[in-house]
Amino acid sequence: MSLSLDDVKRVANLARIEIGEEEATTALAQLSGIFSLIRQMQAVDTAAIAPMSHAQDVMQRLRADIVTETDQRDLFQSIAPQVEAGLYLVPKVIE
């Protein structure tokens, strides 16, 4: 599978990254390089190997189901650009 310029622009759009024509072309070349590396790795037979989901061979530590946090809303909201009635205000979003 080879990557197109449109693919690069689509991924950039999904990630909300503003990207110019020139940058997109550069990114395309770099990403294509990464893809050829992946193609090389995919040639290895991994049929008998369990997929790795994390680089560390350690399992998740769990916490007890206890409320440990207190209300620090005023502190958190002191750095928010705009608040009202306890709510964080953001530019209007319409579904």
Partner 1 sequence: MQWETVIGLEVHAQLSTQSKIFSGASIAFGAAPNAEACAVDLALPGVLPVLNRGAVERAIRFGLAVGAKINSPSIFARKNYFYPDLPKGYQISQYELPVVEGGTVMFHVAETEKTVRLVRAHLEEDAGKSLHEDFHGMTGIDLNRAGTPLLEIVSEPDMRSSAEAVAYAKTLHSLVRWINICDGNMQEGSFRCDANVSVRPRGSGRLGTRCEIKNLNSFRFLEKAIDHEARRQIEIIEDGGTIQQQTRLYDPDRDETRAMRSKEDAQDYRYFPDPDLLPLEIPSSWISEVRDVLPELPAQMRSRLERDYGLSSYDAETLTADREIADYFVAVVSNLPSDPKLCANWVMGETSAYLNDAGKSFEHCPLSPGELAQLLTRIKDGTISGKMAKEVFRQMWSRRSEQETGWKSLQAKTDQSLVDQIIESQGLKQISDSGAVEKLIDEVIATNPKSVEEFKAGKEKAFNALVGQVMKAARGKANPAQVNEILRSKLK
3-class secondary structure, 34: helix
Instruction: Output 22 or 57, the one with its CB closest to partner 1.
Output: 57
Contact in structure between 21 and 9 (CB atoms under 8 Å): no
CB of 12 to partner 1, least distance (A): 12
User: In 3D, which of 1, 33, 20, 34 has the Cα closest to residue 9?
Assistant: 20
Q: Which residues contact 2 (CB under 8 A, 6 or more apart)?
A: 32, 35
Out of 40, 42, 60, 78, point to the residue binding partner 1 (CB under 8 A).
60
Instruction: Output 22 or 79, the one with its CB closest to partner 1.
Output: 79
- Contacts with partner 1, 13-42, as mask; x by CB under 8 A: -xxx--------------------------
